[in-house]
């Protein structure tokens, strides 16, 4: 079962699987029934996937997972903002939809494996599987599929993981696929360019003004909606008497308070992680940790609690604080294999 988003990567993944002799059926998940002008949920994306399937000569089906998407991605996204947490809906979509519900559907229908167009690799390390970085580091997506467990990895294929993006587009052009020059989707599929987060969230939760204070309690400004403010933010703050750039250090939605400080104030030595998933089991000691989809992986030391469900991360050198709710993904010291990952907790 090939998950087809309507983009060039999953299109070429299908072509490669056919060249390798697999019997392939394309499926597109219809996730968001509301307004969408970007991402992977628009009507045109579904149409592109269907037409590429026709070009490849494979069957194509559309699965409606709208209820599951609302319950496990959209509603938690809204609730996170309501409590001052910065969610990562694309990771949650991978966790719950692509690598849970889709795998369950594949098992029910008798498919041996699920393939996607992610730029990552699945490799065997001894008797276990691991997610590894894609060949194209600039397009590497191992960060967003870090949550895969052994069962999922054993029956998931990433056919373009060994290729660069230019290789992928070259193959698509050679085969005349309609998605060969299609731009990559960059945005959250249920947030429109015109309305943005403010309109989407404002239609679902009350957005309340907040007061901006310094670390000493001095009031220096205000924000229109404290629910839209995130740790590390610099732009969009109306501040008075600021001699230098100020960054958001804390967000307290309940009190309507935003605390700002200097870039140095934003630095932290430790972070607390929860909701941990491990590739094979809890890891402690020296590792590399990446905190955004295409950010650097920095050296750190992990210390687990007794259950392995909570982790303290200590940076080798202080790093800018990560917005609570974002994912911190743990890599091996060779910066290649995913060892696990978790969400940054609201307090260290």
Give me the active site residues, please: 93, 189
Q: How far apart are CA 155 and CA 41, in angstroms?
A: 25
Q: How far apart are CA 157 and CA 171, in angstroms?
A: 18
How many other C-beta atoms lie within 10 A of the C-beta of residue 148?
24
Residues 6 or more apart in contact with residue 30 via CB below 8 angstroms: 41, 46, 62, 63, 64, 65, 66
State the DSSP code for 292.
S
- Reduce the DSSP state of residue 237 to 3 states and report it: coil
Cross-strand bridge partners of residue 133: 120
Report the 3 state secondary structure along 190-216: CCCCCCHHHHHHHCCCCCCCEEEECCC
Q: What angle (nearest 5°) sits at the alpha carbon of residue 81, between those of residues 302 and 102?
A: 70
**Residue 43 CB burial class (10 angstroms; 0-12, 13-18, ≥19):** exposed
Residue ranges of the alpha helices (H) in 57-189?
66-69, 75-82, 89-93, 102-109, 150-154, 165-175
**180 within 8 A of 8, measured Cβ to Cβ:** yes
Residues 6 or more apart in contact with residue 112 via CB below 8 angstroms: 155
Encoded tokens for 46: 């579904």
Residues 6 or more apart in contact with residue 68 via CB below 8 angstroms: 96, 97, 101
Q: How far apart are CA 266 and CA 130, in angstroms?
A: 33
């Amino acid at each position: 079962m090939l998950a087809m988003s309507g983009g060039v990567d999953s299109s070429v993944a299908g072509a490669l699987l056919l060249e390798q002799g697999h019997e392939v059926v394309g499926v597109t998940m219809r996730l968001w029934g509301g307004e969408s002008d970007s991402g992977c949920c628009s009507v045109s994306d579904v149409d592109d996937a269907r037409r590429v399937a026709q070009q490849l000569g494979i069957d194509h089906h559309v699965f409606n997972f709208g209820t599951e998407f609302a319950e496990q991605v959209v509603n938690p996204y809204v609730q996170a903002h309501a409590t001052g947490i910065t969610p990562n809906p694309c990771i949650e979509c991978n966790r719950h939809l692509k690598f849970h519900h889709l795998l369950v559907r594949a098992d029910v229908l008798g498919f041996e494996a699920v393939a996607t167009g992610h730029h990552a690799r699945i490799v065997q390390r001894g008797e276990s599987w691991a997610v590894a970085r894609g060949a194209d580091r600039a397009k590497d997506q191992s960060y967003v599929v870090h949550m895969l467990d052994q069962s999922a990895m054993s029956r998931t294929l990433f056919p373009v993981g060994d290729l660069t993006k230019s290789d992928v587009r070259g193959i698509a052009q050679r085969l005349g696929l309609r998605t060969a020059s299609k731009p990559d989707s960059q945005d959250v599929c249920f947030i429109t360019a015109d309305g943005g987060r403010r309109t989407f969230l404002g239609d679902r939760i009350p957005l309340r003004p907040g007061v901006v204070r310094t670390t000493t309690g001095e009031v220096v400004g205000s924000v229109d909606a404290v629910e839209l403010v995130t740790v590390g933010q610099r732009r969009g703050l109306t501040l008075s008497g600021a001699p230098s750039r100020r960054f958001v250090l804390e967000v307290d939605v309940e009190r309507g308070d935003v605390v700002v400080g200097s870039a140095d104030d934003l630095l932290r030595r430790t972070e607390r992680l929860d909701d941990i998933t491990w590739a094979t089991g809890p890891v402690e000691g020296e590792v590399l940790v990446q905190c955004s989809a295409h950010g650097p992986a920095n050296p750190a030391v992990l210390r687990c609690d007794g259950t392995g469900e909570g982790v303290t991360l200590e940076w080798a050198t202080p790093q800018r604080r990560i917005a609570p709710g974002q994912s911190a993904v743990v890599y091996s010291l060779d910066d290649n294999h995913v060892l696990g990952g978790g969400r940054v907790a609201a307090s260290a």
